[in-house]
Chains A and B, each alone.
Chain A
Amino acid sequence: MSELALSDEILMGIEKPARYIGNEVNMVRKNPNDVDIRFCMCFPDVYEIGMSHLGIQILYDTFNRRDDVYCERVYSPWPDLDRVMRDKNIPLFSLETQSPVKDFDFLGITLQYEMCYTNILQVLDLSGIPIYAKDRTLDDPIVVGGGPCSYNPEPIADFFDVFYIGEGETRYDDVFECYKAMKDDGSSRVDILHAISKIPGMYVPSMYEVSYNEDGTLASFEPIHEDVPRTVTKEVVMDFNDVHYPEKPLVPFIQVTQDRVTLEIMRGCIRGCRFCQAGMIYRPTRQKDVNLIKDYAVKMIRSTGHEEISLSSLSSSDYECLKEFTYFLIEEMGNQHVNISLPSLRIDAFSLDVMKKVQDIKKSSLTFAPEAGTQRLRDVINKGLTEEVILNGAMQAFHGGWNKVKFYFMLGLPTETMEDAEGIPALCERVAEAYYDIPKDQRNGKISITASSSFFVPKPFTPFQWAAMLDPDTYIERAHHVKDTFRQQLNAKSLKYTYHESYVSVLEGVFARGDRKLSKVIYDAYKSGCIFDAWTDFFDNDKWMAAFEKNGIDKEFYTTRERNEDELFPWDFIDIGVTKRFLLSEWKQAKKGVVTPNCREKCSGCGAAKFGGGVCFERGK
C-alpha cells in the first residue's frame, strides 16, 4: 500500500475519502527526485468540481511531457477535512505523491470564478505558505494564478507571485527554463520574480506600483523597474492544430460534475455579445481541424472508458465542420455505446435531427438563452437571437415531439426598463401559445416552460465594463415583478420562473472590477471563516459585509457606479488584442441599440487580428 498523507482513522471519518487518495486511471507517476521542477496544480474548489475542468487536464498533460517537470494536483479539502487538518496541523498535500504542497517549486492556481477567492487563501494557509506574497521566502513555492479571473487579478494581486495572462499552453516552457537556471545560482526570490516578469504574458504584481485619485479611482499603474513591461499582452495559441491535447485524461473513481470525455473543438466566439467576457478575451476564434478531433474522440474514449463524450466550445453551432463531426460521432460512438452530449447548439433542423438521435426526447428539453425579454434590449446586448428564430426553432421541435423548454435570462442589464423585464414572461407566454396552436393530436401533452434569470454582473474587457450594475434592491423588486407578471399569463400553469439571489452576484460585481484595495477584505472574510463561498450551504453574507465594513470599503464604488469613458481601469495594463477603443465604441453602440455583425459576417476591427490568425484570416484576407 502506498503511503497516504491521511491516516485510516481520518479517511474513514470524512465524506468521500476518494477525493484525497489520488491513484486514478491515467495519473502520472514520476519520482520527484528525478525532476528539476515540481509543479502543484490547484483548482480551489472540491475535487469533483476541479476534476471536471478541462484546462487543468491540458496543462497536467503538457507539463508532464517534460522529463524535468512533475506536475501533481491538489483541490480544496472539503470543510469536514479542513477542520481535521487545522485541528491536527496536517499540511495540505498533493494527490500523486501525497507530499506537502509547500515543498513544491510552483503552486499553480486556476481562477475560474470570483467566489473561489477565499478557497485560494484556504489552500495557501493549509499548505503553510504565507498568505501574502510579500511574506514568502525562497522556501515557499512560487504561486502562479491563471484562468479567466486573471484578466483582472488586482483584488487578489497581493496573494500571488505571478499571474499568467492568457492561454496556458504557450509560455510555461520559458518560465520553467528561467526558473531552472536561477533556482540554485544564489538568486533571491525577488530576482527570480523580476526575471519572470520579463517573460511575455507574465504579470508579477510586486513589480508594479499603483496610486489612487481622491475619489478612489486608479491614478497610475507603473512598473517599479524600467525593464518590466508596462503592458502585459495575453498569451494565445495561434497554431490550434499543433498544440498538446490530453489523449489520456485522468479518470476519477468517484462521480464528478463532468464525468465524460471533453473535447475542445473551438476556442473563442464570433458572436460578440456585449455582456460576455469569454467572447472578448478568447478572440480570435480558432477552430480545430475536423480530422484531428475525430482522431482525439476515438483515442480519448479508448483511453478513458468513459461512456459519454461532450464537445467544448463557446458556441458549437459556429464550428464550421459541426455537421460532419457530429454525424461521425453518432456513427462511431453509437457502436461503442457512448453517449454524445452537445451543449450550446442553436435550435434548427440540424440540431433537432441530432438531438433526436442522441437524446431521449421525453427527457430532454430545448434550451434558449435570449438573455433579455425584448428585441430592443437584445439589440443592446448584441444577442443575435430574435423572437422569430426562437418561435421557429421551438415550433420545429414541438412538431418533433418536444414539450419542455428552458429559457435563460439576465436581469439588470444596462438600459433595462420595466417593459424589458415584462418581456420575459411575454416571450414565454407566446411560446406556450404557439404550442397550443398545434392541433391536439399532433402535440405531445402539456408544455412545460422554465425560465430563470440571473443578476447581470458587468465584467472587465467587455463593452459593459463602464456600466453600472443594478443595485440589489431594485434587482429583487424587478425579479418579483417578473414573477408576478408570469402569474398573470394565460398559460401561467405551464410557466415556471426562478431567479437567483442577489448577494453572491453583488460580491462577484465587486471583485470582477475590483482593485488592490480589496485584498484586505478577502483576507478578513477568510479569517472570519468564509470558505466555499460558491456553495450556498457555506456562503455567509454577514461575514462578508463585516469584512467590507471593517476595512471601510464601499461596495457601491465597484458595482453601481457608472465609469467615465476616460477612467483608468485596474486591468488596463493587460492587452487582450481587443482594444479599449473598440470596447468603448461598442458601449456607445449598445446605448444606441445598434447591433454589430459577427466576425464571419464582417470584421469590425476589434484588434484581435494582430495575433495573425483564427477567424480574422479565415477568408484568406
Chain B
Amino acid sequence: MSEETYKIRIKYAKMGVLKYIGHLDLMRFFQKAVKRADFDIAYSQGYSPHQLMSFAAPLALGVTSEGEYFDAQFNSLIPSDEFVRKFNEQMVDGVYVKDVILLPEKAKKAMSIVAASDYVITFKSEDDLDFTDDNKTEKRKVSDIADKKKKILEVVPYLLEKETIEVFRKTKKNEKVEDIKKGIYKLEVRKDNIYMFLATGSEYNLKPESVLEALCNEAGVEYNKFDYHIHRIETYYKNEDNNLVSLLETGERII
C-alpha cells in the first residue's frame, strides 16, 4: 500500500427486496462488488488485510433508503461518473450507487459526523398486507388501516406543540420513558404520508419507529410496525455554520 490514499464517499440507495439484507451483509456485498469492479481500493496492513471501508448510519432491517453512505480509501482515482458507472455494473436489483465524491484529506469518517436523517413514512396498502390467515385473531382489515391513517395524520401537525413527547424506549438494560421531542426537527404531512426529520448518530439517535409510536399514542390507535413502510431520504451532518446538510456536501465530485 502506498502511503498516500484518497478518501472517497459513496452515496447509495437500498431499495426493494434489499431491505431484507442486514447491514453487515450489505457491507460484505459492497466489499465483493469493489473486488468485482477491480477498483484500486487500499487495504489495511497486517496479516489479514481488509479493504479500508467504513459505513455511516446503519439501516434497520425492513427499511429502504436512497440516502446511504460509506467511505473508502483508494490508491488512485477515476472520475465520479466512472466510479458510479463501474459500481452500478456490479449491483443487483434494489441497490445502486448514486454518487461518489472526493473528501478533503482531514475529513472525518461518515460514521462519526452523521447528525440527522429524514424519512417518509407511507401507510401500507392492501397488497402489502398479509391477509392469508383468515382464521387467526391477527386478521386485520384494510379499513382498519385507513381508519388508523386518518387518525394519525390528524395529530401529526400538533405533536410538536406538546411540551414533552414521551415514549417507552428499550435500552440494553431496561425500558424507560423518555422525552424524544429534542430529537424531532421536523414532522409534517406530505402528500398523505408522514415526513420526519430526526436526530441520528452518536450524539442523539432517534428511530422513526419511536416517533410513529408517539403519534399512535397521541391518536389513540394501536401501534403495529407492519402498518407502515419506512424510507430514509437522506443522511445529514452539521456543517461549520451549524446547518444540517447532506453528507454529499462534505467533498467535491471528481471530474
Q: Which residues does A use to contact B, with CB under 8 Å?
A: 1-2, 4, 7-12, 17-18, 21-25, 27, 87-90, 251, 253-255, 301-307, 336-337, 339, 360
Contacts A23-B93, A24-B92, A302-B38 known; 11 new A-B pairs at CB < 8 A: A8-B62, A11-B20, A17-B61, A18-B25, A23-B17, A25-B36, A88-B130, A255-B25, A305-B31, A307-B32, A360-B48
Please name the residue on chain B nearest to A6 by beta carbon. Answer: B130
Which B residues are CB-close (under 8 A) to A24? 92
Contact with A along B17-33 (1 / 0, CB 8 A): 11011100110110111
Q: Which residues does B use to contact A, with CB under 8 Å?
A: 15-18, 20-22, 25-26, 28-29, 31-36, 38, 43, 47-49, 51, 61-62, 90, 92-94, 124, 128-130, 132-133, 136, 225-226, 229
Which B residues are CB-close (under 8 A) to A304? 32, 36
Tell whether A360 pairs with B47 under 8 Å between CB atoms, given A304-B32, A306-B32, A336-B35: yes
Alpha-carbon distance A382/B62, docked complex (angstroms): 55
Q: Shortest Cβ distance from B36 into chain A, in angstroms?
A: 4
Alpha-carbon distance A12/B128, docked complex (angstroms): 12
Please name the residue on chain A nearest to B229 by beta carbon. Answer: A8
Q: Shortest Cβ distance from A329 into chain B, in angstroms?
A: 16
Q: Which of A7, A17, A303 contacts B128 (CB 8 A)?
A: A7
Q: Are A4 and B17 in contact (CB under 8 A)?
A: yes
Alpha-carbon distance A126/B97, docked complex (angstroms): 38
Alpha-carbon distance A51/B208, docked complex (angstroms): 35
Which B residues are CB-close (under 8 A) to A87? 133, 136
Which B residues are CB-close (under 8 A) to A251? 32
Alpha-carbon distance A24/B33, docked complex (angstroms): 12
Q: Are B92 and A25 in contact (CB under 8 A)?
A: yes
Main secondary structure of the interface of A (DSSP, over half): loop
Q: Which of B17, B18, B49, B61 contacts A12 (CB 8 A)?
A: B61
Q: Shortest Cβ distance from B65 into chain A, in angstroms?
A: 14
Which B residues are CB-close (under 8 A) to A306? 32, 35
Q: Are A88 and B35 in contact (CB under 8 A)?
A: no
Which A residues are CB-close (under 8 A) to B16? 1-2
Tell whether A305 pairs with B32 under 8 Å between CB atoms, given A88-B132, A89-B132: yes
Q: Are A303 and B20 in contact (CB under 8 A)?
A: no
Q: Are B133 and A18 in contact (CB under 8 A)?
A: no
Q: Which of B21, B61, B229 contacts A253 (CB 8 A)?
A: B21
Q: Shortest Cβ distance from A583 into chain B, in angstroms?
A: 45
Q: Are A254 and B17 in contact (CB under 8 A)?
A: no
Q: Are A302 and B36 in contact (CB under 8 A)?
A: yes
Alpha-carbon distance A18/B34, docked complex (angstroms): 21
Q: Shortest Cβ distance from A370 into chain B, in angstroms?
A: 31
Q: Are B25 and A253 in contact (CB under 8 A)?
A: yes
Tell whether A254 pairs with B25 under 8 Å between CB atoms, given A12-B62, A18-B20, A21-B17: yes
Please name the residue on chain B nearest to A87 by beta carbon. Answer: B133
Q: Are A90 and B35 in contact (CB under 8 A)?
A: no
Please name the residue on chain B nearest to A302 by beta carbon. Answer: B36
Alpha-carbon distance A306/B15, docked complex (angstroms): 24
Please name the residue on chain B nearest to A254 by beta carbon. Answer: B25
Which A residues are CB-close (under 8 A) to B29? 25, 253
Which A residues are CB-close (under 8 A) to B47? 360
Which B residues are CB-close (under 8 A) to A253? 21, 25-26, 28-29
Which B residues are CB-close (under 8 A) to A339? 48
Q: Shortest Cβ distance from A77 into chain B, in angstroms?
A: 15
Tell whether A255 pairs with B28 under 8 Å between CB atoms, given A23-B94, A87-B133: yes
Q: 27 pairs across A/B with beta carbons < 8 Å?
A: A1-B94, A2-B16, A7-B130, A7-B132, A8-B62, A8-B124, A8-B128, A8-B130, A8-B226, A9-B129, A9-B130, A12-B61, A12-B225, A17-B61, A21-B20, A25-B36, A88-B130, A253-B28, A254-B21, A255-B25, A301-B35, A302-B38, A303-B36, A305-B36, A306-B35, A337-B51, A360-B47
Alpha-carbon distance A417/B25, docked complex (angstroms): 50
Alpha-carbon distance A253/B226, docked complex (angstroms): 24
Which B residues are CB-close (under 8 A) to A10? 130
Q: Shortest Cβ distance from A357 into chain B, in angstroms?
A: 12
Q: Shortest Cβ distance from B159 into chain A, in angstroms?
A: 26
Which A residues are CB-close (under 8 A) to B51? 337
Q: Shortest Cβ distance from B127 into chain A, in angstroms?
A: 9
Alpha-carbon distance A2/B15, docked complex (angstroms): 11
Alpha-carbon distance A88/B128, docked complex (angstroms): 16
Please name the residue on chain B nearest to A8 by beta carbon. Answer: B128
Which A residues are CB-close (under 8 A) to B94? 1, 23
